[in-house]
Structure 1
Amino acid sequence: MHVARLSLHDFRSYRQLDIALDPGATAFIGRNGQGKTNLVEAIDYLSRLGSHRVATDAPLVRAGAEQGLVRAAVVRDGREAIIEVELNPGRANRARINRSQVPRPREILGLVRTVVFSPEDLTLVKGDPSDRRRFLDDLLVLRTPRLAGVRADYDRVLRQRNSLLKTARNARRGSSSQDSALSTLGTWDAHLAGTGAELLEERLALVDALRPYVGKAYEAVARGASRDDAHIAYKPSFDLEGATRRDDLATRLLVEVERRRGDELDRGISLVGPHRDELVLTLGHSNAEGQTSLPVKGYASHGESWSFALALRLASYDLLRADGDDPILILDDVFAELDTERRQQLAELVAGAEQVLVTAAVAADVPEALAGTRFLVGGGEVRRDG
């Protein structure tokens, strides 16, 4: 898979842009603030309908414009398709495939697949559990696009259920409003268990599939490491008691919801479900007592943290390739954060991808293994170098 052409209209800093891209390695070189990251961000947006830099779409539309547009010609298995998304802050976005509008933007998910390495990746290791949950869910949707609907349904159920819990908490005890909220809560408990169990089942399977790739990738990017050093594990918000199938997980979730009912009513928030789960990252360390595993967050050095973050992204890429796909790799300003050895290791590991898009402030930051087409970015222009 590769992007053959990228067109932008009122996206970020670009009023209008149209560039042709080649397979293999392409580097966008320019000083900070010149718009090079905006280019790869646009391609990544088509992959997951979100940005790796901001949480909402509003900043993606050029200041003063009412809407933005991202369009790409994507070549996959020798066939080309035109994918585009119209960004409408405050209103529903619209998406098209080969100029024909689709019912919902998420219909385009899976047509473009990207794996992004960026300085923000350290939050996968040092950030909140929500950052790691988002990492898992984004990868789930890349592998199985229909799960975007499951995730959206779960979020909708969670919002409604939290609203009922707050109403019940704030209402006078025994009042009609409290009775109404409590009587309706059972219905939303069932919805939470149904959608939550499906999401949980998929996450558990994903972590099992990803685990060996993480160890292999960590060995490749960390000095002197073995594939047994890096570990990932899924930590649910309740005891699964060995359940792994959806029906059993739904039953266990409902049991736990009923057990925690008092706590949820006291706090006015849902305390059980995939939204409270954690992806646990640990590293093996040798000491006088032998080999021990410690959480990456809080114990790993800066270099170890970076290596683990890179391993998570590389593992994602390798897993997608094992599924029979070859996603577009985006290395967004990541080489400036790495020492020379890690730069070379990462470059050599990804150089064989069908398309690698790199951003860098100076050309010297791009390793020789990724020498290819280069664009100079500055003054609102993007021009091919040479």
Structure 2
Amino acid sequence: MYLRHLQVTDFRSWEHADLPLTPGPTVLVGPNGRGKTNLLEAIGYLATLSSHRVATDAPLVRHGCERALVRAAVVNDDRELTIELEITPGKANRARVNRGAVGKPRDILGILRTVLFSPEDLTLVRGDPGERRRFLDELLVLRAPRYAGVRSDYERVLRQRNALLKTGGKRKGQTAQDPYALSTLEVWDSHLAAAGSQLLAARLDLVADLAPHVAAAYAGVAPDSWPAKVAYRSSLGEALPAGYGTPEGERADADKLAAILVDALAAARQAELERGVSLVGPHRDELELILGETPAKGYASHGESWSFALALRLGSYELLRSEAGEPVLLLDDVFAELDKRRRSRLAEVASAAEQVLVTAAVDEDVPEELSGTRFAVSNGEVRHV
């Protein structure tokens, strides 16, 4: 898989950019603040319908403009598709494939697959659990696009259930619980368990499959460090069947997990009513990152944290590549952050990729292995050099 062409209009700082692309390495070089990252962000948005930098669409649209447009030609197994997204904050975004409208933007998911490594990835190790859940879910959607709908359904049901808990709970200042809200909670319990069990099962299987790739990638970039492991910690606790989420265990059974979730929600009912929030489900889970026998967060050095972040992305790349062909690799200004060994390992993987796009402030930051097509980025222009 590779991008043959990228075009953006009113996206971030770009009034317009038109970038012809080829397989192999492509390097975008220019001073910081000139829009290099914005171009990689646009590519990543086409692949995931989300940004690695912001949580909402509004910052993606150039100041003073109503909408942004991102278009790319994607070649996969000698078949070319043109995908296009119109991003309009406050309204529904619109997507097209080969100039024809599709039902929902998420219908384009799977056409382009990317793995992006950026300085922001340090938060995967040092940030809160939400960062790691997001990492899992975005990788899950890249692996199987249908889970975008499952994730959306779960989040919708969770919002509704939390609203009922706030309405029905008897807390300080309230005289009684709302009987109507209480009577409908069981219905929402079943909805939450139905969507949550699918998401949970998929995450558990993903972690089981990803774990060996992450361990191998970490050993490659930090051979003198403790071994790295990833593990899934569920809010179900000991009720989660043994072996789920591990390479040696059985595949997760969504039907079995749904029944367990329903029981767990019933057991947590009083505590949830008192707090007005759902305490059980995938939204409360954690991807544990472990070095040796200790958690990476709070214990890993700066170099070890970078190594783990890199291992998560390289592991993702290897997993996707092993299942359905190579994704496009996006490396956003990361070589300047890495020491010689980590730079060398990343360059080794990147140079073998079908297509890799690299951004750097200066030529010296880019390893020789990636000296392919080069573009200079400055003053609102992208120029081939």
Give TM-score, length-normalised by structure 2.
0.95
Residue 124 of structure 2 is matched in structure 1 by 124
Is 2:115 the partner of 1:115? yes
Deviation (angstroms), 1:224? 2.3
Residue 22 of structure 1 is matched in structure 2 by 22
Alignment of 1:127-206 (within 5 A): 127-169=127-169, 172-174=174-176, 178-206=178-206
**What is the aligned-residue RMSD (CA, Å)?**
1.2
Alignment of 1:300-311 (within 5 A): 300-311=300-311
Judge conservation of contact 2:170–2:273 (CA < 8 Å) in 1.
no
Distance of 1:208 and 1:43 partners within structure 2: 28
Residue 248 of structure 2 is matched in structure 1 by none
Which of 200, 212, 234 is the matching residue for 1:236?
234
Residue 252 of structure 1 is matched in structure 2 by 260
Residue 372 of structure 1 is matched in structure 2 by 372
Stretch deviating more after TM superposition (238-247 or 199-208):
238-247
Residue 3 of structure 2 is matched in structure 1 by 3
Stretch deviating more after TM superposition (71-80 or 148-157):
71-80
Cα deviation code 1:34-57 (max 9, x no counterpart):
001111111110000011111111
Judge conservation of contact 2:198–2:254 (CA < 8 Å) in 1.
yes
Deviation (angstroms), 1:223? 3.7
Residue 282 of structure 1 is matched in structure 2 by 290
Judge conservation of contact 1:240–1:249 (CA < 8 Å) in 2.
no
Distance of 1:339 and 1:101 partners within structure 2: 46
Distance of 1:93 and 1:147 partners within structure 2: 19
SS at match of 1:272: coil
Tell me how many residue pairs correspond in the alignment. 373
Alignment of 1:211-226 (within 5 A): 211-225=211-225
Deviation (angstroms), 1:78? 0.9
* Structure 1 portions without partners, runs of 5+: 285-292
Judge conservation of contact 1:137–1:203 (CA < 8 Å) in 2.
yes
Deviation (angstroms), 1:174? 4.2
Identical residues among aligned pairs (%): 61
Is 2:272 the partner of 1:264? yes
Alignment of 1:52-71 (within 5 A): 52-71=52-71
Cα deviation code 1:119-154 (max 9, x no counterpart):
011111111001111111001100100000000000
Distance of 1:92 and 1:325 partners within structure 2: 31
Distance of 1:18 and 1:379 partners within structure 2: 14
Cα distance change, pair 186–173 in 1 and its aligned pair in 2 (3 A) = farther
Judge conservation of contact 2:124–2:131 (CA < 8 Å) in 1.
yes
Residue 246 of structure 2 is matched in structure 1 by none
Judge conservation of contact 1:193–1:250 (CA < 8 Å) in 2.
yes
SS at match of 1:316: helix
Residue 338 of structure 1 is matched in structure 2 by 338
- Structure 2 letter corresponding to 1:281: L
Cα deviation code 1:349-371 (max 9, x no counterpart):
22110110001111100001111
Cα deviation code 1:304-357 (max 9, x no counterpart):
111111001000000001102210000001111111221112101221101100
* Structure 2 portions without partners, runs of 5+: 243-251
Give TM-score, length-normalised by structure 1.
0.95
Judge conservation of contact 1:377–1:383 (CA < 8 Å) in 2.
yes
Judge conservation of contact 2:170–2:176 (CA < 8 Å) in 1.
no
Judge conservation of contact 1:320–1:327 (CA < 8 Å) in 2.
yes
Distance of 1:143 and 1:223 partners within structure 2: 29
- Structure 2 letter corresponding to 1:233: A
Judge conservation of contact 2:170–2:274 (CA < 8 Å) in 1.
no
